[in-house]
Chain A
Amino acid sequence: MEVTPNASSKKKMSDNTKSSIFLSPALILLLIFFLTPMLLTIVFSFTNLALTGSQAQNIKFVGFDNFIQMFNDAQLYNSIGKTLLFVLFSAILGQCLLGFLIAFLMKGKNAAFRRAIGITVIAAWVTPEIVVGFSWVAFLGDNGTLNSIITALSGIEPIAFLFEYPMVSVVLANIWRGTAFSMMAFQAALDDIPLEVEEAAVMDGASRWRIVRNITIPIVKGTITTNLMLVTLQTLGVFTLIYAMTGGGPGNATMTLPVYMYQQAFVSYQLGYGTAISLVILIIGALFSLLYMRFLKVKV
C-alpha cells in the first residue's frame, strides 16, 4: 500500500495495524455469518435435533449415531451416486466442456457475433434458478414446447421427459443455466493468449488440434482448474433447480444429496440427520477440490 505524504508526517501507523482495522468489519462479518453457522452445523450433526415431536424439546447429543445411521442408509448411497452423476455430466462434461468450446469457437470472431452469442448464453445464467426450473418444466412438459415440436415433426405421442428421463432433464437444465459462467472464464483466459505463440505454431505447420492440445490448454490450465473447482462446488449444492423440476423424484431418481438433506430436515423433521448429511456434501466438495489440485498440479 502506498503511503501518502500527509499520513506519514506525524504518527505513522504500521501497515499491519491499518490493514487489521480495515479488515475487521469483514472479519466480524465472516465470523458471524459464516463461521458460526458452520460450527453450529457440525455441533447439530451430533444431536437428535428435530423440528417437532418430543425431540424438538429435549435435544440430546447422540455421538456418532447420525453417522452410523448413514452407513446403513441405502438412500444415502443412492443419493451420493446421483450427486456424482449430476456433477459429472452437468458440471464437468457439460458446463466446463461446452463453456470451453463456445469460448474457443468465439475467439477472434467479429464483435457483433461474439456479443450476440455471449448475451444469449449469459441470459440463462442471470435468470434466477427457480425461474429456470419452471421454464424447463414448461419446456419439457406434456404440452410443452419440445413435445409440440416433436409431435408436429414426427407425429409420435408426447414424451413425459421429466418422468421418463428425469436425470437427463435436470442435467440438461443445469448445463443450460450454468455454461455461461465457464464460457466467460475461458473467454477471458483465451483472450490473454498472445497471438504470436499461436502464429508461430501455425508457421511450424502444427494442426489445429495440436495447437489446442499443446499450446492453448497448457496456457489456460490454471483457469481450467479454478473453473472446474468453482463449477463443481456450485453444482454440488444445486437444490432449487432439481427441487422445482422433479422434487427429487420420480421415486428417488433425482434425489441428490441437497434434496435428500432438505427432505430429511424439513419433510421428515430430522434436523440433526439433515445437518449430518450436509457434512457429507462438504466432504465430497473438499475431496473434489483436492483431486483437481493434485491432478492438474496447479497452485490456486
Chain B
Amino acid sequence: MFKKNVPVLILLSGILLLSACTDSDNAKGNSESTNGKTEIKITWRGLGEQDNVRRYLEGFEADFESKNEDIDIVLSPITASEGDYFSKVALTMQSEETAPDIVSEDTFMLSADANAGYLIALDEYVDSWNEWDNYIENIKFGTTGEDESIYGIPTTTDSRGIWYNKEVFEAAGLPIDWEPKSWNDIYTAAETIKEANPDVVPFAMNVAKANGEAVSMQTFEMLLYGTDETLYDSESKKWNVNGQGITDALVFVDEIMNQRDLGPSLSIALNANYGSVMTQELLPTGGVGMVLDGNWNIGNYAEGGAYPIENIEETLGFVPFPTKDGEEPGFVTMAGGWSWAIPEKSQNHDAAWKVIQAMSTEESQTERAIIEGTLTVRNDSAESSDYTEKPLIEPATKALENAHFRPKNDLYPNVSIEIQNAVEAVASGAMSPEEAAASYKAKVTDIVGEENVY
C-alpha cells in the first residue's frame, strides 16, 4: 500500500512545494482587475510622509480616473534611499509579476536600464504625439539612449546651487544678497559665520555614501565642473582620471570638513538622513548658514511641504555655485532630472502610454513642477505665470544657463560609486585628497578599462 504510493507522495509534496512558491495574487494576467479595468501601476521613489510627488500623483489619479473609466491607476512607490531605489526598480523590472507599468527613472540610470533591456523604446509612440515638440530640446537629450532611441518622457529637471539662510547671514554681518565669485568667497563667508556664532553649521554638502548619487552630483561634480574639467570626454569617450580638478574638488571637501572645520559633525554629515535634517530642519531654522543642494528643496518650504515658510525669499536665498577661481562663465550647475518610462515586462504598454500622455500635458507638467519645486521641461509650462511667479524660480533657471549633464555612458553609475567612496573617505578624514584621487584613478581605470581613461 505504502510502497505503491511512494512516487505519488513525492510528486504531491513537490506540487505542494511549488504551489507554495507562487504568489497567486500577483500571478501573471492579473493586471486586469476584477471590475474589468486595466490596472496601471506607477512606481516612483517614495519619500514617506513628505512626498511631493505623491501629492501630485494623487491629484492626477483622481482627475484621470474620473475621465477614463477603463483604467485604474495604482500608486506603488518604492520608499528607499536614493541608491537602493535603482536596485529595487531593476529587480522589479526583471519579472512580469513585479514589473510596474510606468516607472520613474532618473535620467542617469535610463541608458543603463535601457541597455539592460528593462525598458521599451518609445519612438513609435512619440512619433505620433504632437506634444513632443513642446519639450525643451536639450532636455530630450537626457532621455535618449545610447542607441538614439527615446526611452523616457522627461518630467522635471533641476539645477544646483547654494541655499543660504539670510537671517544667519545678517547676524554674521554678511550681505543678504550674497553672490560668491569663487570657492574662496565661500570659505570666507563660512568662516565669518563660524566666528559670529559657533553653534551654527557654516556650510554643508552631501558627503556620505549613504546619500548615493547626491554626493556625486550635488557635491563632487559641481566642484569638478567648476575647474574647467569634466568627468568624461564625450568626444573621445574617455574618462578623466588624471585631472588636477579631481584633487581640487576633493581639497574643497577636505577644507570644509576637516582643515577649516566649517562643516557639520560627522554624525550629521554621514547620516542617511543628512538631506532631510539639513534642508527641512536646520536650513529654515537658521541651524546652518549655507547648503549646497538642489533647487527642488523649494518644495519643502511651499505650502503643504515639509517646512512651509511664508515669504520664503525673506528667509532663504539661492545662488548659483561659483567656479573655483571665478573662471568663465563664473558659475556652474549640473542638471539632471527624472522621466517616466515603460518597463518591457509590463503587460499594458498601450494603456501605460495613455497615462504618461495625460501626465505630460502642459497643465499637468506645470502642476508637478510647482508642487515638487522642480524646473519644468516644457517650453509652454516655463512661460505660464503660475510657474514663473513661484519664489526663487529665477535664480534656479539662471543657474541652468551653464548646465552640464552627466556622462551618457552605461558605466556612469559604477563610476559614480567610486566618486562617493572618494568623497566620503576625504570627508571622514580616512584619506587625504591626494590619496583619494589616486584611489579613484585606480578604481575607475579598473571599471572602464585602461584604454578608456585620460
Contact = CB atoms under 8 A, between A and B. Distances in A.
Contacts of B14: 28
A251 B118 contact: no
Contact of A25 (B13, B83, B87, B430): B13
A51 B90 contact: yes
A273 to B, nearest CB: 11
A160 interface: yes
A266 B414 CA distance: 11
B266 A160 contact: yes
Interface string A264-297: 0011111000000000000000000000000000
A268 B112 CA distance: 12
A149 interface: no
A250 B428 contact: yes
Interface in B115-129: 115-118
Given A251-B431, A266-B84, A160 B13 contact: no
Interface in A3-50: 11, 13, 17-18, 21, 24-25, 28-29, 32, 50
B199 interface: no
B235 interface: no
Nearest to B93: A52
Nearest to B420: A267
A53 B10 contact: no
Contacts of A163: 266-267, 270, 428
Interface string B421-454: 1001100101100000000000000100000000
A28 B13 contact: yes
Contacts of B91: 51
A141 B116 CA distance: 41
B116 A52 contact: yes
A52 B3 contact: no
A142 B210 contact: no
B414 A268 contact: yes
Contacts of B414: 268-270
A269 B87 CA distance: 7
Nearest to B425: A251
Given A29-B17, A53-B115, A160-B265, A21 B431 contact: no
Contacts of A110: none
Contacts of B446: 69, 72
A267 to B, nearest CB: 5
Given A52-B115, A56-B115, A268-B414, 17 more contacts: A21-B6, A28-B17, A51-B87, A52-B109, A52-B413, A53-B112, A53-B410, A53-B411, A53-B413, A72-B446, A163-B267, A249-B210, A249-B424, A251-B425, A263-B417, A269-B87, A270-B414
Interface of B: 1-3, 6, 9-10, 13-14, 17, 83-84, 86-87, 90-91, 109, 112-113, 115-118, 208-210, 212, 265-267, 270, 272, 410-411, 413-414, 417, 421, 424-425, 428, 430-431, 446
15 contacts: A11-B1, A17-B2, A17-B6, A21-B6, A52-B413, A56-B118, A72-B446, A142-B265, A247-B210, A250-B270, A266-B84, A266-B87, A267-B417, A268-B417, A269-B112
